[in-house]
Amino acid sequence: MIWQAHGSGDPVTVVVPGLGTTPGEARLPASGLPGTRVVLTLPGHGDAPDAPPGYWRYERVADDVSAVAAEVGATSAIGTSLGAAALINLVAREPERFDRLALLLPAALTEPRSDPDLPLLRQATAVARGDRAELRELMVEHLPRGVELGDYVDTRIAALMRLGDALAALPGQAPLSDPAQVAAVRADVLVIAATGDGQHPREVGEAVAAAFPNGRLEVLPTRAPLLTHRPRVRQLLGEWLARPSRG
């Protein structure tokens, strides 16, 4: 897994993006935060080589995140979607790894996602067929209206077309088998959920926040917070990072 550091000094925060995230999109959650932000590029994303066969397991991604966090001395972590799931899996096994966690749009906690209408599964079918037009329709269907997107859709389509194995494998997994697996985590945990997002249900965000002893939930009235509510997300993350450490 490759990474790039932005900024300098403490705290050191590792940033784990979601599946299909473009390099520019991956930096958004950490934009404007103090200290050093270490933004990871997952296999098959950006300039990173494709993942080896069988890579797309939450445990495997979490192990790579743990290695980077140890290398850079990270005390905080931000994860979006897949990144949030990897961090949940990681701290269940290493409860003292971070002082702070921010989990944006978690999609699963203990239950795999089996709904045939799940956007991720429909995207997996389109990618398997090589149907870019269908993939575009699926993406546009779940984006907020009235937001200037630029080349966002095209770059996301190009990214997802490399990730058929991940799209097929991840919905059948969950980062934990039991919420009690994170009962020993004492980190300050901020969970940001959204309304109207079929891929990242609000109920999952609520369950994730409740599972952590020091979890806190913020629900934003949008299906795509990083597109429509960036200032509020940045404010929440800045406040979260500025709070005194519980350690």
Q: What are the pLDDT digits (tens) for 43-88?
A: 999 889 999 999 999 999 999 999 999 999 999 999 999 999 999 9
What was the pLDDT predicted at 247? 53
Task: Say how far residue 27 (Cα) sits from the centre of its chain.
Answer: 12
Helix 82-93 crosses helix 58-72 at what angle (to 10 degrees)? 80
Task: Please provide the average confidence, as pLDDT, over all residues in the chain.
Answer: 91
In 31-102, which residue ranges form alpha helices assigned H by DSSP?
A: 58-72, 82-93
| Residue 29 CA neighbour count, 13 Å, CB half | 33
Query: Among 164-168, 172-176, 211-215, which stretch is predicted with the lowest mean pLDDT?
Result: 164-168
User: Edge to edge, what strands does the sheet with 100-104 contain?
Assistant: 2-7, 36-41, 12-16, 76-80, 100-104, 188-194, 215-220
Q: What is the mean pLDDT of residues 213-239?
A: 92
Q: Report CA-CA distances (Å) from 52 to 44, 123, 163.
A: 9, 21, 11
Band (115; pLDDT cuts 50, 70, 90): confident
